[in-house]
Amino acid sequence: MTRASRASLLVPRTRPDRPADFAARDVVIARQGHGARRVRRARRIVRILACLVCLALGFVATAAATRAAADWLSTTALLAVTRVEVVGTQRIERAAILRAARIEGGANILALDPAAIRERVELLPGVREARVVRQLPHQVVLVVEERRPYALVNGQAGLVWIDAQGYLVARERRPWLPMLPILSGVEPPARGADGLLPDRLRVGLSLLRAVERTGGGLAARISEIDLASPEGPVLYTVDRVAVRVGEESWDERLARLDGVLAEFDARGEGVEWIDLRFRDLVVLQPEPAVAEASGDATPGHEASTVNRVERQ
C-alpha cells in the first residue's frame, strides 16, 4: 500500500471535522441575534431621517411664518408714525430738521431707515451729530447735537458762525461784538471739513487760538483778523491799530504786542501800525499827532518815525 493510499484511509487521526449543524439551537439563536441587530439599525436610521425631515419642515415653516409676520409688522397701520419730536436744538429751526429727515406721516415706524435719516440730518449746517430713536408704536424722536459757535467770519454773505474745526454753524443777523476777533478776508466753506478747509481759513483759526491763549486783555482788544493779504494775516485792534504778525511764532509775537500796547498806554500815546515779523524787533509808526505835538514835524523827522525800531 502506497503512502498516498494509506493517508486517504479513514483512521481516527485523519477523520474530517464534524459537519456544522445549522439546525442546532445555538446556531439558530446566533442567527436570530444578527437579524435583530439589523432590524434595530434600520429602525434607528429611519428615525434619524424622520427627525431630519421634521426639522427641515419646521425650519421652512418658521421662516415662512417669520417672513409673514415681518411683512405684516412693516405694513400694518397699527405702527404708523403719528408724531416726530426734535430734541437738542437751540439755533436750528425744527422745520429744517423735519425737512431733512423726510419722515412722512403715516409711514410704518419699523420700515424707517434710521441710518439714512441720520445722514440727511447731519448734512445740515450746524448739526454735529444726530440720532434716531423709535418709540413704539407711533413716535420718532430726533436727537440733535448742534455745533458750538467758535468764530465769526465776515464774508460776502455777511456774518457767519463756524466751529473750532471750521464747520459752518449758522448765520448771525445781529451785529454785535463777539468775545474773540472776527475773521475777514476769507469765505467760509459751505459745510466745512477738517483737512479740507481753505488754507487762509485754517491759518485764521490757528491764529485765533493763539490770541485766545494769550488771555488777559489782549484778546478783548483785538477786534478783527484780516486774512486777505498775501503777506500774512493782519490784526486790527479796537483802536484800529494794524498789526502784522507773520505766519509763525505767534505766541511769542503776541506777547511782545501785549507789552508794546501796554507801554504806549502808559505813555498816553497812540500808534498807527505795528510790524512784529522781525526777530526780537518791533517796527511801528506812531500817530502823526504825537510827532506834531513834539514840535519836530519836519519831513526828515516824519521819515525817521516811519521806520522807528523799538528793541524788546
Q: What is the pLDDT of residues 129-163, one digit of tens each?
A: 999 999 988 899 999 999 999 999 998 878 889 99
Can you give the C-alpha Rg of the chain in angstroms? 46
7 belongs to a structural domain = no
Domain-ending residue, one of 108, 129, 146:
146
64 belongs to a structural domain = no
Q: For the segment 14-48, what is each residue's pLDDT rounded down to a tens digit?
A: 555 555 555 555 655 555 556 667 777 878 888 88
Q: Tell whether 141 and 164 lie within a shared domain.
A: no
Query: How many DSSP H helices and E strands does the chain contain?
Result: 9, 13
Q: What gap in Å lies between CA 138 and CA 109, rounded to an integer?
A: 7
CATH number, domain with residue 104: 3.10.20.310
DSSP H or E run through 272: strand 271-275
Q: What is the pTM assigned to this prediction?
A: 0.63
68 belongs to a structural domain = no
Q: For the segment 244-294, what is each residue's pLDDT rounded down to a tens digit?
A: 999 888 999 999 999 899 998 888 888 999 999 988 788 998 887 544 444
Q: Tell whether 131 and 231 lie within a shared domain.
A: no
- pLDDT higher than 60, residue 229: yes
Q: Tell whether 241 and 172 lie within a shared domain.
A: yes
CB-based contacts of 276: which residues, under 8 Å, 6+ apart? 243, 244, 245, 246, 253, 256, 257, 282
Q: For the segment 85-133, what is each residue's pLDDT rounded down to a tens digit?
A: 999 998 899 999 999 999 988 888 888 999 999 999 999 988 999 999 9
Q: Tell whether 187 and 303 lie within a shared domain.
A: yes
Q: Tell whether 207 and 304 lie within a shared domain.
A: yes
Residue 51: the pLDDT is: 86
Quickly state the pLDDT bin for 297 (edges 50, 70, 90): very low
82 belongs to a structural domain = yes
27 belongs to a structural domain = yes
Q: Tell whether 27 and 96 lie within a shared domain.
A: no
Q: Are 292 and 267 in contact (CB under 8 A)?
A: no
Residue 59: the pLDDT is: 82
Residue 206: the pLDDT is: 93
Distances 308 to 65, 270, 276, 282, 305 between C-alpha atoms, Å: 90, 14, 13, 9, 5
Q: Tell whether 142 and 107 lie within a shared domain.
A: yes
Q: Tell whether 47 and 155 lie within a shared domain.
A: no
Q: Tell whether 117 and 259 lie within a shared domain.
A: no
Q: Tell whether 302 and 163 lie within a shared domain.
A: yes
SS3 242: strand
Give the phi and the psi of residue 157 in degrees, each rounded to 5.
Answer: -90, 5
CATH number, domain with residue 195: 3.40.50
Q: What gap in Å lies between CA 278 and CA 1, rounded to an integer?
A: 142
Residue range(s) defining the domain that contains residue 40? 21-58
8 belongs to a structural domain = no
Q: Tell whether 103 and 161 lie within a shared domain.
A: no
The strand pairing partners of 284, in sequence order, are: 274
Number of domains in the chain: 3
DSSP for 58-119 reads: HHHHHHHHHHHHHHHHTT-GGGB--EEEEES-SSS-HHHHHHHHT--TT-BTTS--HHHHHH
